[in-house]
Amino acid sequence: MRWEPGHESPDVIDRRGEGGGPRIGGFLALLPFLMRSKLGWLIILGAGAYYLFAGGLGGGAQPAAHDAPVGQGASSDRSMVEFVSFVLDDTQKTWTDIFQQRGRTYQHAKLVLFTDSTSTGCGYGDAATGPFYCPTDAKVYIDLGFYRELSGKLGARGDFAQAYVIAHEVGHHVQKLLDISDRVHQARGTEQKGATGLSVRLELQADCFAGVWAHSTSRRDLLEKGDLEEALGAAAAIGDDRLQRQSRGTVNPEKWTHGSSDQRSRWFRRGYQDGKIESCDTFAATSL
């Protein structure tokens, strides 16, 4: 992919190296019991002092540290940060144009870089879950270590494979702005589950939206030979059937949450070929 080295994005927040901070949920749950005795109060005071000095309860400097600009993390990942910043900005510029054409205003998402774990508007975020989007705070979260797993363990190599991951998560932000994700999350649990459930359809639509962005990069001559294949390979690498087969040796469509490798590749390709939101209506599709 042709991109701009040295790119910086105002929408990227760098939390790398900070960690997720102490988990205090369990301690707070014990407060009513601790307050019943003198020993309990001593434990509360001691814990309070610990969190105060550790910054675990959000001391004065903590919010600023969590919103640190790009450049505060590991310098060895600098080129990757620049690439992620470029892809994020290019993706959001594309959606800004698409929304304007429809008389709507696109509101930018933020992208948070973190290491291992971090706090989010949706709760505690862990790198083990892979990149994710939180609709509560309108932020995409990614540990750059995921890209090593993507190219190594999952075998999806290339910069456009990495770009696809970001475009997919931004696709979830687009779904939020269009009120699509809210309708899905408000549906009954039985409607969301299964190989043809609403959750799978939501994820496949995000793949298609990623393809819509890829369509725009092709029209602007940003794609290089092999880029499309890299993105399709990444979509296939994280299909539910493939991941289930790798981890369990068997495939159970009733446990799918994102769709099969073939489905994910198919819907990304559809968005890429048509370049239109209307082509991504997975909810009306009789066959995925």
Per-residue confidence (pLDDT) for residue 187, from 0 to 100: 87
Q: Model pTM?
A: 0.81
Q: How many CA atoms lie within 13 A of 44 on its CB side?
A: 14
Place of tokens 């760098």: 14
Give the confidence band of 36 by pLDDT, cuts at 50, 70, 90: low
Per-residue confidence (pLDDT) for residue 149, from 0 to 100: 93
Segment 82-108, tens digit of pLDDT? 999 999 999 999 999 999 999 999 999
Find, among 69, 68, 110, 71, the residue nearest to 89 by Cα: 110
Residue 71: which residues within 8 A CB-CB, separation 6 or more? 14, 78, 81
Question: Domain ranges in the chain?
Answer: 12-16+65-280, 25-55
Mean pLDDT of 160-189: 95
Mean pLDDT of 176-189: 92
Mean pLDDT of 213-236: 97
What are 108's two structure tokens? 């930018």
Give the confidence band of 269 by pLDDT, cuts at 50, 70, 90: very high
Give the confidence band of 143 by pLDDT, cuts at 50, 70, 90: very high
The CA distance from 4 to 106, in Å, is 23
- β-pair type (12-14, 110-113): parallel
Q: Which residues on neighbouring strands pair with residue 133, listed in sequence order? A: 140
Contact by Cβ (8 Å): 262, 195? no
Q: What's the mean pLDDT when you consider all of the chain? A: 85
Give the confidence band of 190 by pLDDT, cuts at 50, 70, 90: confident
Per-residue confidence (pLDDT) for residue 103, from 0 to 100: 97
Give the confidence band of 24 by pLDDT, cuts at 50, 70, 90: very low
The CA angle 137-145-214, to the nearest 5 degrees, is 65
Mean pLDDT of 119-129: 94
Find, among 95, 82, 80, 78, the residue nearest to 217 by Cα: 95
Q: Around Cβ 141, how many Cβ atoms within 10 Å?
A: 26
Per-residue confidence (pLDDT) for residue 152, from 0 to 100: 93
The CA distance from 43 to 49, in Å, is 10
The CA distance from 190 to 17, in Å, is 40
The CA distance from 74 to 259, in Å, is 34
Query: At residue 208, does pLDDT exceed 80?
Result: yes
Give the confidence band of 285 by pLDDT, cuts at 50, 70, 90: very high
Q: Around Cβ 212, how many Cβ atoms within 10 Å?
A: 26
